[in-house]
A and B are shown apart, each in its own frame.
Chain A
């Protein structure tokens, strides 16, 4: 009935690949920006904060449209990438990673910013007095103290990236085996009246999500 080997597992593995990569990207950028926001004042800070929060409030279709316009063959970044580097992001799984990163970014950024702002300055200053460089202060004092908050944001970001649908459908399309993530596969199965396949995929996704949430919850407790 259902071919498990090259059937439903393909979109699941693709989704996990996209979500893991997107989470890693978002973790790096989110924490870096959050640190800048938590520690420095610079012109346009409030505006940038609003822009960074935008993916949380804008409908994914709006984000997908922005991505299509900017990264598309005739968009200014898309055109440059294709002319200079021969790269195309639209209709590729890399495009799906970008879509997932965009929607997940605010979750890490917000959580990391709150966590970093909560770190006691005195502890950082103490480290500096003791001769630590700025990089050492960040990695050996600030980050360990803010880690739990950042991890919570990262968990949410991963869940959001797993479930991403609208923007992904718009810029990555739905190419089976290449860009068809599990949420898109479910959507198509339901629309085509393939209820067996839809049921199976829905159960699979639910199980994976519960597993990930329980697992990361355990991880968080251990950090404590």
Chain B
């Protein structure tokens, strides 16, 4: 019912005397100042137009989004999943006629905050276990639906025109490397993995003055691609997205494996469809999409 109302209200505005008068004025004399006769009509004419605009705005407000458009599945996913999940969404929509998959990409902990604060999300896919554990503890997800669906690797990447001989974490301590992009460890899993790896080899304290903290891993990638930093911690899959501008220097050994968990949220309006999406991720077709983006099997 809603869209029909909006359309009607919109047409009413278009057909209102205000629009016609304005259009004809523009056509005839190229100015908004009409003849004296037109000027006299102006106030009532304007009222008509304003009323039409108000009506259409009200119709927009009361309209629920996309009625009769099928189901909508909202997926909050870690930034590093951006490209793989876009492909996944298209394939899932093709396999489930009438379903629309909407994605919300950001650092895992930011998504977690949004879900805890009550964002209408059906699925949560994070880049590390810590974010999902926190979601579980806050009662934001159904733990029974939680499953690891992909694996990744952490790398140190350089701008592709960089000539710096960086081959290990120890090389990052050289004075030639001035700035290193790293996800803010408090909110970005890529930053947490990097921090754990650096603490394991006792390099964190030596390096932390060089760090440029980013809001998500794709921001680190962007800073590397622009050459604003000399190096940065990103996932192997991220480098493939910008392979002309960014190159991998070396793989970072992380104390924990990089595994991506996904779970249905506690407040999901359509848990059945959400579980179908998880099943699709694990299917052959789903795993092929993840592989094409460079993710490994969990």
Interface residues of A (CB under 8 A from B): 68, 72-74, 90-91, 169, 173-176, 188, 190-194
Instruction: Please give, as numbers and ranges, the residues of chain B lying within 8 Å of A174 by CB-CB distance.
Output: 184, 213-215
Pair A169/B215 contact, Cβ less than 8 Å: yes
C-alpha spacing A117/B184, complex, angstroms: 49
C-alpha spacing A90/B229, complex, angstroms: 10
Instruction: Please give, as numbers and ranges, the residues of chain A lying within 8 Å of B10 by CB-CB distance.
Output: none
C-alpha spacing A176/B213, complex, angstroms: 9
B193-219 vs A, CB cutoff 8 Å, 1 = contact: the mask equals 000000000000000000111110000
14 contacts between A and B (CB under 8 A): A72-B227, A73-B227, A73-B228, A173-B213, A174-B213, A175-B212, A175-B213, A188-B187, A190-B113, A191-B186, A192-B109, A192-B184, A192-B186, A193-B113
Pair B228/A90 contact, Cβ less than 8 Å: yes
| A168 nearest CB across to chain B (Å) | 13
Pair B211/A175 contact, Cβ less than 8 Å: yes
Given contacts A188-B187, A191-B110, contact A173 B226 (CB under 8 A): no
C-alpha spacing A68/B225, complex, angstroms: 13
| A157 nearest CB across to chain B (Å) | 27
B94-122 vs A, CB cutoff 8 Å, 1 = contact: the mask equals 00000000000001011011001000000
| A162 nearest CB across to chain B (Å) | 21
Given contacts A173-B212, A175-B211, A188-B186, contact A72 B228 (CB under 8 A): yes
Pair A191/B187 contact, Cβ less than 8 Å: yes
C-alpha spacing A94/B109, complex, angstroms: 30
Beyond the given A175-B213, A188-B186, could you list 13 further A-B residue pairs with CB under 8 A, ordered by the A residue number? A72-B228, A73-B228, A74-B227, A90-B228, A173-B212, A174-B215, A175-B212, A176-B213, A188-B184, A191-B110, A193-B112, A193-B113, A193-B134
Instruction: Please give, as numbers and ranges, the residues of chain B lying within 8 Å of A91 by CB-CB distance.
Output: 179, 212, 228
Interface residues of B (CB under 8 A from A): 107, 109-110, 112-113, 116, 134, 179, 184, 186-187, 211-215, 226-228
C-alpha spacing A203/B110, complex, angstroms: 22
| B110 nearest CB across to chain A (Å) | 5
Instruction: Please give, as numbers and ranges, the residues of chain A lying within 8 Å of B215 by CB-CB distance.
Output: 169, 174
| B213 nearest CB across to chain A (Å) | 5
Contact of B226 among A68, A190, A191 (CB under 8 A): A68
Instruction: Please give, as numbers and ranges, the residues of chain A lying within 8 Å of B110 by CB-CB distance.
Output: 191
C-alpha spacing A90/B214, complex, angstroms: 13
Instruction: Please give, as numbers and ranges, the residues of chain B lying within 8 Å of A72 by CB-CB distance.
Output: 226-228
**6 nearest CB pairs, A to B:** A192-B186, A191-B187, A173-B212, A73-B227, A191-B110, A174-B213
Pair B226/A74 contact, Cβ less than 8 Å: yes
Q: Which residue of B lies closest to A74 (CB)?
A: B227
User: Which interface residue of A68, A190, A192 has the most chain B CB atoms within 10 A?
Assistant: A192
Contact of A191 among B113, B211, B214 (CB under 8 A): B113
Q: Which residue of B lies closest to A173 (CB)?
A: B212
Q: Which residue of A lies closest to B111 (CB)?
A: A191
| A73 nearest CB across to chain B (Å) | 5
C-alpha spacing A169/B187, complex, angstroms: 16
Q: Which residue of B lies closest to A69 (CB)?
A: B226
Instruction: Please give, as numbers and ranges, the residues of chain A lying within 8 Å of B107 by CB-CB distance.
Output: 191
Instruction: Please give, as numbers and ranges, the residues of chain B lying within 8 Å of A194 by CB-CB distance.
Output: 186
| A218 nearest CB across to chain B (Å) | 39
| B78 nearest CB across to chain A (Å) | 14
User: Which interface residue of A90, A175, A191 has the most chain B CB atoms within 10 A?
Assistant: A191
Instruction: Please give, as numbers and ranges, the residues of chain B lying within 8 Å of A68 by CB-CB distance.
Output: 226, 228
Instruction: Please give, as numbers and ranges, the residues of chain A lying within 8 Å of B184 by CB-CB distance.
Output: 174, 188, 192
| A107 nearest CB across to chain B (Å) | 27
C-alpha spacing A192/B134, complex, angstroms: 11
Instruction: Please give, as numbers and ranges, the residues of chain A lying within 8 Å of B113 by CB-CB distance.
Output: 190-191, 193
| A14 nearest CB across to chain B (Å) | 15
C-alpha spacing A92/B94, complex, angstroms: 48
C-alpha spacing A37/B215, complex, angstroms: 41
| A224 nearest CB across to chain B (Å) | 39
Pair B213/A73 contact, Cβ less than 8 Å: no
| B143 nearest CB across to chain A (Å) | 19
C-alpha spacing A158/B140, complex, angstroms: 41
| A177 nearest CB across to chain B (Å) | 10
C-alpha spacing A140/B92, complex, angstroms: 73
C-alpha spacing A166/B112, complex, angstroms: 22
Instruction: Please give, as numbers and ranges, the residues of chain B lying within 8 Å of A169 by CB-CB distance.
Output: 215
Instruction: Please give, as numbers and ranges, the residues of chain A lying within 8 Å of B109 by CB-CB distance.
Output: 191-193
| B168 nearest CB across to chain A (Å) | 24
C-alpha spacing A175/B184, complex, angstroms: 10
C-alpha spacing A68/B228, complex, angstroms: 9
| B242 nearest CB across to chain A (Å) | 15
User: Which interface residue of B109, B215, B227 has the most chain A CB atoms within 10 A?
Assistant: B215
